[in-house]
């Protein structure tokens, strides 16, 4: 049997045929199929919306709906009886991406497939020619998705540093003595930490959505729209930095209460509203002074409320078309098939807990310690070991973390992200292959290596991702290797190994290298017991 993916425009004979081809029942079928197939991603999306930086997420589909209705109101959809091949290609890609996300157990990938699925339904229902008109609203749905955690952490850390630096400049401009130590603003009596929540992402993400809406509704040339949208980035960074600086000023004069509680949140709302006003002023300036001979529109932002809900009244009479019926059935079958697919049992991992790692490593004597509660929370590891080892006058700090799964949750927190936030200046990270051990016990491993400095204190750092028998130095590679292992072997466990040694004043880096490599000669052979390989 073949499926005709060209629209005939006709309906089945009789009342039953007419009812059968109504769009609303088949939209419900397509929605049911999507819910079943993309369920894990949608649940993860709801969880992400509970976080402050993504709390605006539920508004995004509503705004997309408004943009879609506005486009139909301005330019009614014309019948398109042409081929739906493009729509079915996008549908196939959406199901493939969703299936990949389900198999590797990464909810973010599943939600990417869901966005493609929505686009496919639009193209199949309205036709290729008419459906592509709705791309601004469809693309707007991307703003409801959370960033992958390893990207989020990297962006957040860099924005924390920028906000702290500019904030300190604002405080200094006001004539207040201040020092900056990493992301800690030292006012003498008070110290303010520019934490992850102060990075500005809580403003940037919703302003991206708002900036996109403003750019779409702007009555002007496309290059103006591009400027309006991308202006959200510098506007947010500068205004958030100004907020950080003003909090420092208020704390200096009126006390720590201005950095916490209701006043702190109220200041945030003032900054967010100020950012939206600045975006509108940018749009006004572009329309007023950069029209270049164009007639300036009566309204800079076209918010056509009157009659915009009119298309909803026509929805009950909307015809589905054979292609949309076929697509809805395909989606429902895919959803049912996935839900009926047995969930594989978690792969067993035969390993020892990090808590019993020996405190005697060759001639190094160790003492276990613990992380601060806040750092432990950010780290998000299922297990970790933090220990100080000493041999004579030489010292090495060892941190090992273990994650049962790296495809869900926050994943590994890389030292590249957290060290600058602690006030350390980091020389360029380099990937280096080192050899630990001697003779038959020698083993070559890849490490990330850097010298870090804070004031007069210098340290040498090695770290790598211990990934089921592999030593990996790149975050992205570690993520993709975990995805492959989840698909191939049902395992995505792994962790991080980081060693740090203080450097004496005037000490050559080569001597510190020898010290770390001597210590690792006793550590690396034991790692498979705690981080077992796939074939173990």
User: Cα–Cα distance between 347 and 493 in angstroms, integer?
Assistant: 10
Residues 480-484: what's their mean pLDDT? 84
pLDDT of residue 86: 94
Q: Answer whether 491's CB lies under 8 Å from 347's CB.
A: yes
Establish how many alpha carbons lie within 13 A of residue 39's alpha carbon, considering only the half-sphere containing its beta carbon: 11
What average pLDDT is seen over the chain?
84
Count Cβ atoms below 10 Å from residue 93 Cβ, excluding itself.
15
- Looking at residues 108-135, what average pLDDT do you find? 92
Position 1 pLDDT exceeds 50? no
* Per-residue pLDDT band at 129 (split at 50, 70, 90): confident
pLDDT-derived band at 19 (thresholds 50, 70, 90) equals: low
Residue 368: the pLDDT is 93
Give the bridge partners for 255, in sequence order: none
Residue pLDDT, tens place only, 207-246:
999 999 999 888 888 899 999 999 999 999 998 888 888 8
Tens of pLDDT along 346-393?
777 889 999 999 999 989 999 999 988 877 877 888 899 999 999 989
For residues 335 and 333, give the distance between their C-alpha atoms in angstroms, rounded to a whole number. Answer: 5
| Contact criterion met (CB below 8 Å) for 436 and 524 | yes
Mean pLDDT confidence for 250-267: 70
Rounded to whole angstroms, the Cα distance separating 279 from 259 reads 27
Reply yes or no on whether the pLDDT at 12 is more than 50.
no
Cβ of 410: how many Cβ atoms within 10 Å? 16
pLDDT band at 3 (very low <50, low <70, confident <90, very high): very low
Lowest mean pLDDT among 17-26, 53-62, 76-85: 17-26
Q: Would you state the structure tokens that stand for residue 333, as one six-digit string?
A: 């079958």
The torsion region of residue 294 among left (phi > 0), alpha (psi -120 to 50) and beta comes to: beta
Q: Which of 44-58, 275-289, 398-412, 451-465 has the lowest average pLDDT? A: 398-412
Q: What is the pLDDT of residues 141-152, one digit of tens each?
A: 999 998 887 778
pTM as predicted: 0.79
The answer to whether 412 touches 494, Cβ cutoff 8 Å, is: yes
The dihedral built from the CA positions of residue 107, 110, 116 and 118, taken in this order, carries a sign that is negative
* Residue of higher predicted confidence among 64 and 23: 64
C-alpha atoms less than 13 angstroms from C-alpha of 506 in its C-beta half-sphere: 0
> Is the separation of the CB atoms in 171 and 249 below 8 Å?
yes
Share of the chain above pLDDT 70, in %: 88
Q: Any idea what the Cα angle at residue 384 is, between residues 498 and 486, rounded to 5°? A: 90
On the question of pLDDT at 18 being above 60, the answer is no
Residue extents of the structural domains in the chain: 14-146+319-340, 149-289, 354-530
The whole-number average pLDDT for the span 115-127 is 93
Contacts of 184 (CB under 8 A, 6+ apart): 164, 191, 192, 193, 194, 423
Lowest mean pLDDT among 43-47, 270-274, 509-513: 270-274
With H, G, I as helix, E, B as strand and everything else as coil, classify residue 431.
strand
The per-residue pLDDT for 181 is 75
- Does the pLDDT of residue 285 top 80, yes or no? yes
Asked if 324 and 121 touch (Cβ cutoff 8 Å), the reply is yes
């Amino acid at each position: 049997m073949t499926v005709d993916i060209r629209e005939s425009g006709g309906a089945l004979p009789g009342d039953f045929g007419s009812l059968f081809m109504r769009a609303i029942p088949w939209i419900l079928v397509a929605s049911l199929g999507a819910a079943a197939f993309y369920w894990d991603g949608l649940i993860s999306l709801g969880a992400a919306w509970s976080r402050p930086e993504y709390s605006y997420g539920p508004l995004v589909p509503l705004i997309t709906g408004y943009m879609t209705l506005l486009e139909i109101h301005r330019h009614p959809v014309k019948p398109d009886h042409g081929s739906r091949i493009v729509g079915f290609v996008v549908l196939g890609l959406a199901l493939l991406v969703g299936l990949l996300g389900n198999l590797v157990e990464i909810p973010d990938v599943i939600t990417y497939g869901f966005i493609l699925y929505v686009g496919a339904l639009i193209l199949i229902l309205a036709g290729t020619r008419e459906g592509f008109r709705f791309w601004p609203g469809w693309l707007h749905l991307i703003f409801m998705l959370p960033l992958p955690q390893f990207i989020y952490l990297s962006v957040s850390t860099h924005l924390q540093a920028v906000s702290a630096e500019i904030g300190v400049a604002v405080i200094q401009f006001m004539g207040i003595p201040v020092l900056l130590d990493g992301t800690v603003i030292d006012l003498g009596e008070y110290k303010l930490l520019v934490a992850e929540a102060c990075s500005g992402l809580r403003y940037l993400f919703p302003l991206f959505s708002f900036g996109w809406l403003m750019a779409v509704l702007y009555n002007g040339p496309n290059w103006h729209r591009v400027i309006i949208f991308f202006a959200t980035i510098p506007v947010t960074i500068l205004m958030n930095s100004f907020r950080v600086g003003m909090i420092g000023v208020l704390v200096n004069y009126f006390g720590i209460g201005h950095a916490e509680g209701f006043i702190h949140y109220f200041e945030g709302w003032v900054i967010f509203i100020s950012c939206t006003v600045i975006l509108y002023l940018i749009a006004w300036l572009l329309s007023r002074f950069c029209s270049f001979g164009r007639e300036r529109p009566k309204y800079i932002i076209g918010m056509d409320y009157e009659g915009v809900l009119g298309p909803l009244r026509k929805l009950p009479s909307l015809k589905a078309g054979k292609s949309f019926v076929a697509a809805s059935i395909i989606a429902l079958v895919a959803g049912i098939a996935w839900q009926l697919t047995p969930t594989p049992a978690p792969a067993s991992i035969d390993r020892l807990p990090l808590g019993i790692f020996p405190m005697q490593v060759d001639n190094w004597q160790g003492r276990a310690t613990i992380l601060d509660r806040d750092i432990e929370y950010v780290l998000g590891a299922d297990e970790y070991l933090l220990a100080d080892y000493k041999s004579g006058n030489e010292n090495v700090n060892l941190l090992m973390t273990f994650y049962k799964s790296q495809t869900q949750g926050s994943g590994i927190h890389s030292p590249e992200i957290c060290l600058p936030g602690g006030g350390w200046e980091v020389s360029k990270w380099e990937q280096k292959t080192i050899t630990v051990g001697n003779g038959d016990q020698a083993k070559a491993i890849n490490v990330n290596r850097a010298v870090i400095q804070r004031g007069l204190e210098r340290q040498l750092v090695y770290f790598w991702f211990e990934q089921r028998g592999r030593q990996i130095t790149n975050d992205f590679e570690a993520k993709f290797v975990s995805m492959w292992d989840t698909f191939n072997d049902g395992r995505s466990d792994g962790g991080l190994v980081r060693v740090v040694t203080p450097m004496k004043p005037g000490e050559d880096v080569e001597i510190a290298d020898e010290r770390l490599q001597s210590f690792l000669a006793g550590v690396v052979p034991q790692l498979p017991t705690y981080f077992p390989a796939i074939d173990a």
